[in-house]
A = this chain, B = another copy of it.
């Protein structure tokens, strides 16, 4: 692999501190994540569930050996759309030091292609209403904001 070439691959346990650092490193994430050394064991427990489920893929973007982006791809069986598979993307982050360089776009395009290969007829995500930059970013990729994303905390 030549220098300065971005590579996408499945995450390993060893990537988790880098992933949690990126998840925690924004206004919303800082309220709900705990990035410390070591990271809480619950992150590893979540990772094991993802790793053991072929319908979940935790993906990282790597540049010169460093993890600089992440997202979580889910393949969801469904009855609706004539029993068609949906793809869903959660927890998208690019390291702040590498933002606005097209890395997020490449990571999303790579993932959309992967979703297509897995047979998904649609790819969906939700993004907080306050993340206006993210809305434009996803619209440029071809997403349409057709839905409201509604959430309820159970804690």
Measured CB to CB, the residues of A under 8 A from B are 16, 19-20, 23, 29, 32-34, 40, 42-47, 49-50, 53, 55-56, 58, 72, 74, 76-87, 90-91, 112, 115-116, 120-129, 135, 138-139, 141-155
Q: A53 to B141, alpha carbons, bound, how many Å?
A: 31
Decide yes or no: A151 and B141 within 8 Å by CB, A46-B79, A80-B91 being known contacts: no
Q: A56 to B76, alpha carbons, bound, how many Å?
A: 9
Q: In the bound complex, do residue A129 and residue B144 qualify as a contact, i.e. CB atoms below 8 Å apart?
A: no
Q: A141 to B152, alpha carbons, bound, how many Å?
A: 9
> Nearest-CB distance from A51 to chain B (Å)?
9
Across-interface contacts of A42 in B (CB, < 8 A): 82-84
Taking a contact as CB atoms closer than 8 A, the residue among B34, B87, B147, B155 that contacts A128 in the complex is: B147
> Nearest-CB distance from A29 to chain B (Å)?
8
Taking a contact as CB atoms closer than 8 A, the residue among B40, B46, B55, B148 that contacts A149 in the complex is: B148
Q: A29 to B78, alpha carbons, bound, how many Å?
A: 14
Q: A154 to B120, alpha carbons, bound, how many Å?
A: 7
